[in-house]
C-alpha cells in the first residue's frame, strides 16, 4: 500500500478522541473511553460549537448523536428481529457500542477493528477494564489494504460463515474520495457474500446542495477537515443516488434512513443532513 493511502487512513484518528468524549457527555459511554486529548479537544472547540449553533443553527454534537443513535436502533432491530449474533465494527475508534451491546446481549459476538495503533489502544482499554473476552475482541485492519495481514479477508477469517453478520462503520466514509470508498464497499460486499445473510450500516453525508442549510454544512465540513488534517468529501446527490451507488458496489438491497425516523418531527421539517445507509448482500 502506498504512503499516500496510509496518510489517508491515519488522519481520521484525532476525531475519534473528540467523539469518544461526546459519547461520554451524553451518557452513552463510561469514563474509561474518555482520553485527555478528547476532553481537551472538546473544551477548545466548545466556543466554536456554540457560535455555530447561534449563527448557523449547526449543532455538531446533535449530528453525531443522530447518526449514532440511529445505527444503534438498526443494530438492535437486526439482533432482536433477524437473529444477528456476529457484529464487526470497522474504524471503531473509541466507540462504546461494543461494550454496550455485549452487556445487553449475552449471545452476541462483537469484533472491533481499526488501524493498528488505535486497535492496540482500544484492546488495552477493554483489557484493563476486564471487558475483553472471547465474545468481545479487537483486531487491526486497514480498509485500503489488499492482500496483506490487515486486509478485510484477514479480518473476517475468524467469523462463523454459517451465521449472519452485520458490519458497521461510523464516522469513516466521508474522509475518502468516492472512488476510494467505493473500492472498500466493493471489497466488503465480496466478503459479506460468504455469509448466509449479511448487512452493512454506515453513516454518510450526501451532497445535498438544495438543502436550506447546505452552506452551514460546508462550513462545518471545512472545519472538520482542518481539525483532522485532511479533507472531508460529500458523496452522492440524494437518496436515489446513494441507493444506485451502493447497488453498483454489490449490495443488492439498499435502504437510506433519515434520523427523523427516531424523532417526532413535523411532516414539513427539513431532512437531516446525515443519512444512515443499510445495505444487504
Helix (H, G, I), strand (E, B) or coil at 276: strand
Given a cut of 90, whether residue 228 has pLDDT beyond it is: no
At 134, which CATH number? 3.40.50.150
Domain count, the chain: 1
Give percent of the chain with pLDDT exceeding 90: 64
Per the CB < 8 A criterion, the answer to whether 108 and 85 are in contact is yes
Condensed to tens digits (0 to 9), the pLDDT of residues 171-180 reads 999 889 999 9
pLDDT of 223 reads: 62
Instruction: Give me the domain span that covers residue 156.
Output: 3-280
Condensed to tens digits (0 to 9), the pLDDT of residues 129-162 reads 999 999 999 999 999 988 888 999 999 999 999 9
pLDDT of 43 reads: 87
Exposure string of 231-246, with b = 16+ CB inside 10 Å and e = fewer, is: bbbbbbebbeebbebb
Q: What is the DSSP letter of 272?
A: P
Given a cut of 70, whether residue 18 has pLDDT beyond it is: yes
Given a cut of 70, whether residue 271 has pLDDT beyond it is: no
Nearest alpha-carbon partner for 71 in 109, 100, 49, 42: 100
Helix (H, G, I), strand (E, B) or coil at 189: helix
Greater model confidence, 230 or 118: 118
Task: Give me the DSSP letters along 162-221.
Answer: TS-EEEEE-S-GGGS-HHHHHHHHHHHHHHHTTSSSEEEEEEE----TTSTTHHHHHHHH
Amino acid at each position: 500500500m502506498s504512503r499516500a493511502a496510509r496518510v489517508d487512513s491515519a488522519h481520521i484518528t484525532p476525531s475519534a478522541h473528540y467523539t469518544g468524549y461526546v459519547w461520554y457527555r451524553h451518557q452513552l459511554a463510561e469514563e474509561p473511553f474518555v482520553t485527555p486529548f478528547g476532553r481537551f479537544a472538546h473544551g477548545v472547540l466548545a466556543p466554536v460549537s456554540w457560535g455555530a449553533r447561534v449563527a448557523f443553527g449547526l449543532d455538531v454534537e446533535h449530528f453525531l448523536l443522530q447518526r449514532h443513535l440511529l445505527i444503534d436502533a438498526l443494530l438492535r432491530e437486526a439482533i432482536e428481529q433477524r437473529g444477528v449474533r456476529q457484529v464487526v465494527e470497522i474504524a471503531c475508534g473509541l466507540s462504546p457500542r461494543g461494550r454496550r451491546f455485549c452487556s445487553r446481549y449475552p449471545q452476541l459476538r462483537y469484533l472491533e477493528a481499526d488501524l493498528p495503533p488505535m486497535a492496540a489502544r482500544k484492546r488495552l482499554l477493554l483489557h484493563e477494564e476486564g471487558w475483553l473476552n472471547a465474545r468481545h475482541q479487537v483486531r487491526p485492519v486497514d480498509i485500503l489494504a489488499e492482500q496483506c495481514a490487515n486486509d478485510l479477508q484477514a479480518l473476517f477469517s475468524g467469523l462463523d460463515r454459517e451465521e449472519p453478520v452485520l458490519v458497521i462503520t461510523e464516522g469513516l466514509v466521508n474522509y475518502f474520495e468516492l472512488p476510494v470508498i467505493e473500492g472498500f464497499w466493493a471489497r466488503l460486499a465480496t466478503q459479506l457474500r460468504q455469509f448466509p445473510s449479511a448487512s452493512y450500516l454506515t453513516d454518510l453525508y450526501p451532497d445535498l446542495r438544495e438543502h436550506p442549510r447546505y452552506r452551514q454544512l460546508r462550513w462545518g465540513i471545512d472545519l472538520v477537515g482542518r481539525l483532522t488534517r485532511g479533507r472531508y468529501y460529500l458523496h452522492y446527490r440524494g437518496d436515489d443516488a446513494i441507493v444506485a451507488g451502493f447497488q453498483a458496489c454489490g449490495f443488492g438491497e439498499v435502504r437510506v434512513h433519515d434520523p427523523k425516523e427516531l424523532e417526532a418531527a413535523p411532516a414539513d421539517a427539513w431532512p437531516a443532513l446525515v443519512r444512515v445507509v443499510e445495505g444487504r448482500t
